[in-house]
Amino acid sequence: MTAAPATACPSRAARARWALTDGLTLVERELGRLRQEPGQLITALIFPAIMVVLFGYVFGSAIDVPGGGNYREYLMPGLFAMVTFTSTMAVTLRVATDASRGVMDRFRALPMARSAVPFGHTGAEALNGVLGLTIMAATGLVVGWRAHGGLVPTAQAFLLLLLARYALSWVGCYLGLVVKNEHTADQLLPLVFPITMLSNAFVPTGEMPTVLRVIAEWNPVSALTAACRDLFGNPGAPTAGPTVDPAAGPAGDPAWPLAHPVAATLGWTALLLVIFVPLSVRTYRRRGR
């Protein structure tokens, strides 16, 4: 009797190529959905521009920049960081919408890699981030913001923002898979604003009460904001001098995330990716069982 030949299992490289191909297909699908629903895209692009004008001119006359300088230049890195973090909820809403409307059940019925769906959502968000940062930077230039750090540091700052946005999109993907309902996901948006406000994005942390100051200094939003100020060469960068904060460290030195903001941001980003990439993929797979 001749034994039937065993079916060869696909190699790890073949599975990776399969997942990448399916993921790119879903990225195109997400971008196509934005073209079909331009209202979401327009809102996502106009919101940062409104924030630049609103905060720049409303807060600009009331807040003194540490060490002096233009408040709008101090503000722009904080707005970049705030929009980066609030983008998490856009991914949460899109994933929850697909889950509640049965779209993901249809994806599971197709011969496609299970990891492709979360990778598609997060990949599309990375591309949205490029467009959003471009609009926001253009608005900042109009109101007087400038990057003084040079071409390379400026490019590094934008790459850092995109990397952080990509890592946070995985947090949004996981939340969308967990809540499973677009209405619940929509109500989570107000919970993000306290995180962005309790930071150095809009005001210096030196005058905050001790407990709030410590929280703000170790807030990832503050690290990303400080990193952008440092790379852009804007006022308020930690390299401009120590904080007037006896509780922050010896001789009034800033807390570690503010003294080393780029390293702190990269650390936060790596931590989010390590936790939420496998968590999101595993959650999506388990929902299909």
Question: Would 4 be classed as within a structural domain?
Answer: no
Question: Would 7 be classed as within a structural domain?
Answer: no
Range of the structural domain that residue 242 is part of: 37-287
As for how many domains the chain has, the answer is 1
Q: pLDDT tier at 15 (50, 70, 90 boundaries)?
A: low
Q: Report the 10 Å Cβ neighbour count for 170.
A: 26
Question: Would 80 be classed as within a structural domain?
Answer: yes
User: Rounded to the nearest 10 degrees, what angle do helices 220-232 and 151-179 cross at?
Assistant: 160
Q: Give the pLDDT score at 68.
A: 73
Q: pLDDT tier at 161 (50, 70, 90 boundaries)?
A: very high
**More confident of the two residues 238 and 228:** 228
Averaged pLDDT for residues 2-18 = 55
Query: Percent of the chain at pLDDT above 70?
Result: 78
Question: Would 101 be classed as within a structural domain?
Answer: yes
Question: Would 32 be classed as within a structural domain?
Answer: no
First to last CA, the chain: 38
Q: Give the pLDDT score at 162.
A: 95
Q: pLDDT tier at 163 (50, 70, 90 boundaries)?
A: very high
**More confident of the two residues 237 and 211:** 211
Question: Would 148 be classed as within a structural domain?
Answer: yes
Let me know: does 140 contact 72? Beta carbons within 8 Å: yes
Q: What angle do CA 87, 91, 97 make, to 5 degrees?
A: 140
Q: Give the pLDDT score at 244.
A: 43
The rounded Cα 180 to chain-centroid distance in angstroms is 21
Average pLDDT, the chain: 80
The rounded Cα 113 to chain-centroid distance in angstroms is 25
Span of 12-16, 71-75, 87-91 with lowest mean pLDDT: 12-16
Question: Would 8 be classed as within a structural domain?
Answer: no
Q: pLDDT tier at 7 (50, 70, 90 boundaries)?
A: very low
Q: Tens digit of pLDDT for each residue in 95-129?
A: 888 888 877 777 777 777 777 888 888 888 888 88
Question: Would 28 be classed as within a structural domain?
Answer: no
